[in-house]
């Protein structure tokens, strides 16, 4: 029983030590990680901004056709299409920014 406890404790200590070593980054890696995090924060803000703008456009579109017949007017549909384009453009820009963040991390890892 005592040897089993000893083995478990030894394994846990080794895992903790290994985790600590794996988490050590050079100052260059830390800077790259901070830069990548900032880029990802910008990507999140871009995505949120585009979503908010598209939501507002969709709300405006809903007021353009007050009839609740399940059929959108041409004006409402045009506005909803523009809102979708805004959302897709924001998503594409955010994705590109996230790709850039990944590239920053990858470059630091080499």
Q: Where in the chain are the domains?
A: 26-109
Distance (Å, rounded) from C-alpha 23 to C-alpha 17?
Answer: 10
pLDDT tens digits, residue range 87-103? 999 999 999 999 999 99
Q: How far apart are the first and last CA of the chain?
A: 45
Per-residue model confidence (pLDDT) at position 6: 54
For residues 32 and 107, the answer to whether their CB atoms sit within 8 Å is yes
Distances from the Cα of 2 to the Cα of 5, 8, 11, 15, angstroms: 5, 10, 14, 20
Q: Which residue has the higher pLDDT, 21 or 51?
A: 51
In the predicted structure, residue 77 carries a pLDDT above the cut 80: yes
Q: Taking the complete model, does pTM exceed 0.75, yes or no?
A: no
Q: Which residue has the higher pLDDT, 96 or 72?
A: 96
Sorting pLDDT into bands at 50, 70 and 90, what band is 1? very low
């Amino acid at each position: 029983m005592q040897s089993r406890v000893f083995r478990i404790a030894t394994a846990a200590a080794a895992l903790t030590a290994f985790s600590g070593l794996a988490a050590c980054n050079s100052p260059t890696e830390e800077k790259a990680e901070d830069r990548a995090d900032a880029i990802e924060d910008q990507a999140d803000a871009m995505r949120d901004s585009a979503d908010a703008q598209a939501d507002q456009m969709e709300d405006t579109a809903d007021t353009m056709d007050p009839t609740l017949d399940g059929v959108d007017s041409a004006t409402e549909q045009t506005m909803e299409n523009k809102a979708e384009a805004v959302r897709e453009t924001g998503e594409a820009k955010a994705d590109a920014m996230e790709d850039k963040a990944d590239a920053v991390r990858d470059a630091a890892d080499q």
